[in-house]
Amino acid sequence: MAAVLFDFSGTLFRVETTESWLRAALAETGHTLPEPELTRTARALEAAGALPGGASPLAVPTDLADLWAVRDQSAELHRAAYTGLSRRVPLPDPGLYDALYDRHMSPAAWTPYPDAARVLRTLRERGVGVAVVSNIGWDLRPVFRAHGLDPYVDAYVLSYEHGVQKPDPRLFSVACEALGTDPRQALMVGDSRPADGGATALGCRVHFVDHLPVTHRPDALLPVLDLVD
């Protein structure tokens, strides 16, 4: 393998819990909720799938279905889709819906998996190109910089910057071109079989990991090093 393409959320990084997300947004806007209400609200937001990178919606509302299907194709669509879900849950101030969305883009909302740095650093030492290929509606580069992983990434291919989202093979093609790599010599690593599996259309190999809390997944990325060899 000459290159490895990594997904972002659930692969290299994990977003904070829905309760932590809500607490942070409340604190940042000067709001408070009684503990029982905060817990209930966090559960309702999680069921709604309102946290990008968190749990999927239990059910996408009919009026948001079309938007949800293309949410990663632009920053505007992404914000509209997720704030549309969060607005299903009553909050004490209408401004909190945008505050919640803004919070999830903060580097503090994300934690790298324990083995991410080791794997990325080793790939760099071996001269293997690395790209991050993500369905997303915002610039994740500051997250990598804040956590010290940016030096190990050669290219970022983000759906909202190209107007196309995985599993469309065009997104993987852009990544391989950016690395100067034949797709047949590239490995795609991700947590979503429907989305990341799209790389096989170009001849890429694919390796899947489970989207788990960081404390429950200490070393799932390490097999990537053997696969590259």
84 and 155 housed in the same domain: no
Q: Write the CATH number for 183.
A: 3.40.50.1000
Domain-ending residue, one of 57, 88, 108: 108
**Exposed e or buried b for every residue in 158-187, given b needs 16+ CB within 10 A?**
bbbbeebbbbbbebbbbbbebbebebeebb
In the predicted model, what is the mean pLDDT of the chain?
98
What is the arithmetic mean of pLDDT over 7-13?
98
What is the arithmetic mean of pLDDT over 121-135?
98
222 and 131 housed in the same domain: yes
49 and 161 housed in the same domain: no
Q: Is the pLDDT of residue 229 over 90?
A: no
128 and 200 housed in the same domain: yes
Q: Which of 52, 71, 70, 49 is nearest to 60 (CA)?
A: 49
What is the arithmetic mean of pLDDT over 146-170?
98
Domain-ending residue, one of 108, 127, 144: 108
What is the arithmetic mean of pLDDT over 97-119?
98
Domain-ending residue, one of 51, 83, 108: 108
Pairing of strands 13-15, 3-6: unpaired
Domain assignment of residue 100, given as a range:
15-108
Per-residue pLDDT band at 23 (split at 50, 70, 90)? very high
What is the arithmetic mean of pLDDT over 18-36?
97
Number of helices and strands (H, E) in the chain? 11, 7
**Angle between the N-to-C axes of helices 75-86 and 96-104, in degrees from 0 to 180, rounded to the nearest 10:** 120
117 and 172 housed in the same domain: yes
98 and 120 housed in the same domain: no
155 and 170 housed in the same domain: yes
Query: Facing residues of 133 across strands?
Result: 157
Distance CA 131, CA 82 (A): 26
45 and 118 housed in the same domain: no
What is the arithmetic mean of pLDDT over 176-198?
98
Q: Which of 75, 94, 74, 84 is nearest to 25 (CA)?
A: 94
157 and 188 housed in the same domain: yes
Domain total in the chain: 2
Contact indicator for 132, 8 with CB cutoff of 8 Å = yes
Q: Is the pLDDT of residue 144 over 90?
A: yes
51 and 146 housed in the same domain: no
* Global confidence as pTM: 0.96
**Angle between the N-to-C axes of helices 35-48 and 75-86, in degrees from 0 to 180, rounded to the nearest 10:** 130
114 and 88 housed in the same domain: no
127 and 34 housed in the same domain: no
Pairing of strands 155-158, 129-134: parallel
